[in-house]
């Protein structure tokens, strides 16, 4: 008997006491009337919670977005900036850094040597201070936001969902997704929190609000 058949038959034998009338698809779901945890000002809540995760958060009008990205690069002294395919041109700041576009695909070595990356997001979550990437246009392949040491995220205020359930329904399960809450961190040594083990050590979030 193959592993598949032996596991399945063991499961069926173990579950022989489950009445046949009970339907597998009648899964009890979360309450329809969800409690609103986030309150009315999701943008302020998002900014506060993301900052608690030691992300640097700024709120700017649309016209100032590229400049805010530029200020984040100046702060860390980045000299090269990775620009994913599909990133709106008006988010790319000019300055004393080289631009690396991912068309054609950058090599692992090029990405490892790059200082920073700027992306948009698929959605964000106010309650948890999370940004979510589904790696569509403007967000880049997963590796783009992993190897450079600084990740700058541009979030439109209308992309901020109040809580996890409202954000998850916006994701396409067929695409890979990454939920990011603050920079890489560990508490494995005597529970002391240290930022930046393997992922980007710096996370900048630029929240764009209509002026």
Site for another protein in 78-137 (CB under 8 A): 105, 108-109, 112, 125, 127-130, 135
Number of residues that bind another protein (CB under 8 A): 74
Does 146 sit near another protein (CB under 8 A)? yes
Cβ atoms of 60 and 72 within 8 Å: the answer is no
Adjacent-strand bridge partners of 60 = 208
Which one of 62-70, 115-123, 152-160, 166-174 is the stretch in contact with another protein (CB under 8 A)? 166-174
Does 20 sit near another protein (CB under 8 A)? no
Closer residue to another protein (CB): 86 or 196:
196
Q: How far is CA 32 from CA 28, 35, 47, in A?
A: 11, 9, 28
Closer residue to another protein (CB): 34 or 79:
34
Phi then psi for residue 178, to 5 deg, are: -130, 125
Does 2 sit near another protein (CB under 8 A)? yes
Among 3, 89, 210, 211, binds another protein (CB under 8 A): 3
Which one of 9-17, 76-84, 88-96, 152-160 is the stretch in contact with another protein (CB under 8 A)? 9-17
Closer residue to another protein (CB): 2 or 94:
2
Does 77 sit near another protein (CB under 8 A)? no
Q: Which of these, 165, 175, 205, lies nearest to 53 by C-alpha position?
A: 205
Does 44 sit near another protein (CB under 8 A)? no
Cβ atoms of 176 and 193 within 8 Å: the answer is no
Does 211 sit near another protein (CB under 8 A)? no
What minimum distance in Å lies between the beta carbon of 62 and another protein? 27
* 211 burial level (CB within 10 Å; 0-12, 13-18, 19+): exposed
Phi then psi for residue 2, to 5 deg, are: -70, 165
Name the helix (H) or strand (E) containing 8. Answer: helix 3-14
What minimum distance in Å lies between the beta carbon of 13 and another protein? 7
Does 75 sit near another protein (CB under 8 A)? no
Does 40 sit near another protein (CB under 8 A)? no
As a whole number of angstroms, the distance between CA 133 and CA 153 comes to 10
As a whole number of angstroms, the distance between CA 25 and CA 48 comes to 40
């Amino acid at each position: 008997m193959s592993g598949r058949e032996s596991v399945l038959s063991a499961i069926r034998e173990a579950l022989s006491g489950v009445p046949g009338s009970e339907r597998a698809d009648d899964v009890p779901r979360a309450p329809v009337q969800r409690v609103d945890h986030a309150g009315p000002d999701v943008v302020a809540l998002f900014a506060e919670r993301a900052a608690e995760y030691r992300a640097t958060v700024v709120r700017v009008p649309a016209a100032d977005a590229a400049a805010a990205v530029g200020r984040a690069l100046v702060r860390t002294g980045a000299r090269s900036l990775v620009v994913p395919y599909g990133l709106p041109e008006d988010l790319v700041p000019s300055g004393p850094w080289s631009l690396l576009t991912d068309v054609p695909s950058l090599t692992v070595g090029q990405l490892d040597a790059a200082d920073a990356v700027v992306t948009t997001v698929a959605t964000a979550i106010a309650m948890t201070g999370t940004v979510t990437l589904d790696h569509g246009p403007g967000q880049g392949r997963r590796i783009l936001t992993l190897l450079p040491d600084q990740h700058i995220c541009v979030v439109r205020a209308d992309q901020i969902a109040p809580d996890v359930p409202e954000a998850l329904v916006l994701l396409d399960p067929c695409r890979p997704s990454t939920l990011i809450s603050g920079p890489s961190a560990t508490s494995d040594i005597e529970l002391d929190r240290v930022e930046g083990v393997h992922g980007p050590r710096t996370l900048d979030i630029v929240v764009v609000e209509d002026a």
